[in-house]
Amino acid sequence: MVSRGDGARQRMLEAALAVLDESGLAGFTMEAVARRAGASKATLYRRWPSTGALLVDAMDATYRPFPTPDTGSVSKDVTEILTAFVALLERTPFPRLLAAFIDAAERDPALSGIHQDLTKRRREPMLAVLERGRDRGELPPDTDPELTTDLLTSPFFYRHFVAHRPIPRRMVSDVVARVLFPKT
Amino acid sequence: MVSRGDGARQRMLEAALAVLDESGLAGFTMEAVARRAGASKATLYRRWPSTGALLVDAMDATYRPFPTPDTGSVSKDVTEILTAFVALLERTPFPRLLAAFIDAAERDPALSGIHQDLTKRRREPMLAVLERGRDRGELPPDTDPELTTDLLTSPFFYRHFVAHRPIPRRMVSDVVARVLFPKT
């Protein structure tokens, strides 16, 4: 059941995302979000002590973390996470928000720190899946989950934000095969 | 020998980069660059028909392409390219400019197209090195140079722009070993 408080919170987070999407981080102020949400600045400050705190919750809301898959196969679990991530890149406002964040974080160390924390949280499902695969003996015992997570996810960021090329249908299975089960 | 014309061109490109770095793409106009360079707008337009064309040359100037290595060893060649790229990320204005571009390209398809071309050009040395390694039999004959280039370079973009974590000294050799010479 969604309580009245949850509905109000949700409305404020949606207003925050709309402001961020339209005006970028430069226009992201408590005042602009309050106006958009039809709420008072005092109401916003009661929930979030700073624009940074509000920003973190709003970014978290776009990312919509889903339950960590646990199919018993590392290959299936990783494929599921990467497929959901590609859908996020291709069909939601997430990449526009992330792009604004990338630019702003380059100029502002505080934002860079916030984004570092968000990214750390978003990596957790992949790290968990890789650790389980290693413990089950599907991956070599010296597998480094951190480096493997970098190798599995970064090609999709790169393809979208740097190369500006569409993500081919086969790319998830190609990356999984190449990174997790390489031929020598 | 640098002719008088080359010196003037260099000064205008430097002015373009300074404007881009300070004001972002929103403030990147022929007028602002002309003012900064102490030149007339007409002089700028004689060399570059549009801000887009000027932007491409300015971004190319920051990237400073170096000669494609050809040591006879694919591992050494790739290491050389990645080491130079890490230096570019850590010690030049290139990442700030790229971050501004990433944000702007997300909102403007024309800029996205320009950046697609620039990225394509920047990938050429790596593609050449991988193709030579494959032809020499150092890499498997079914190596896909495009996917391999994605896997080799994108972890460094990701680490800098998304994870906001320092690039560890060992990361180049770890990525090269893992992507080019995996154990199964």
> Is residue B49 classed as helix, strand or coil in its secondary structure?
coil
Cβ contacts (< 8 Å) between A155 and chain B: which residues? 147, 150-151, 154
Cβ contacts (< 8 Å) between A126 and chain B: which residues? none
Compare all CA atoms of chain A with the CA of B24 and give the residue at the minimum distance. Answer: A103
Q: How far apart are CA A162 and CA A93, in angstroms?
A: 17
CA A109 to chain CA mean position, Å: 19
Predicted ipTM > 0.85: no
Token digits of residue B119: 């990225």
Which among B153, B184, B35 has a CA at the least distance from the CA of A158?
B153
A134 contacts chain B (CB < 8 A)? no
**Residue of B62, B94, B102 for testing the chain A interface, max A β-carbons within 10 Å:** B102
pLDDT tens digits, one per residue of A21-71: 787 777 889 999 999 999 999 999 999 988 888 887 888 777 766 789 999
pLDDT tens digits, one per residue of B62-115: 776 678 999 999 999 999 999 999 998 998 878 888 888 888 788 778 888 888
Domains of chain A listed by start with CATH number: 4-50 (1.10.10.60), 64-180 (1.10.357.10)
Is residue A107 very low, low, confident or very high in pLDDT (cuts 50, 70, 90)? confident
pLDDT tens digits, one per residue of B116-163: 888 888 899 999 999 999 999 999 999 999 999 999 999 999 999 998
A176 contacts chain B (CB < 8 A)? no
The predicted structure's pLDDT at residue B23: 78
Compare all CA atoms of chain B with the CA of A159 and give the residue at the minimum distance. Answer: B150
* Helix A94-107 and helix B94-107, axial crossing angle in degrees, nearest 10: 150
**Residue of A25, A119, A154, A180 for testing the chain B interface, max B β-carbons within 10 Å:** A154
Chain mean pLDDT for chain B: 88
**CB-nearest partner of A102 from B24, B147, B161:** B161
The predicted structure's pLDDT at residue A142: 92
CB B29 within 8 A of CB B42: no
Residue A164 has pLDDT above 70, yes or no: yes
* CB atoms B162 and A95 under 8 Å: no
* Helices and strands in chain A, H and E counts: 9, 0
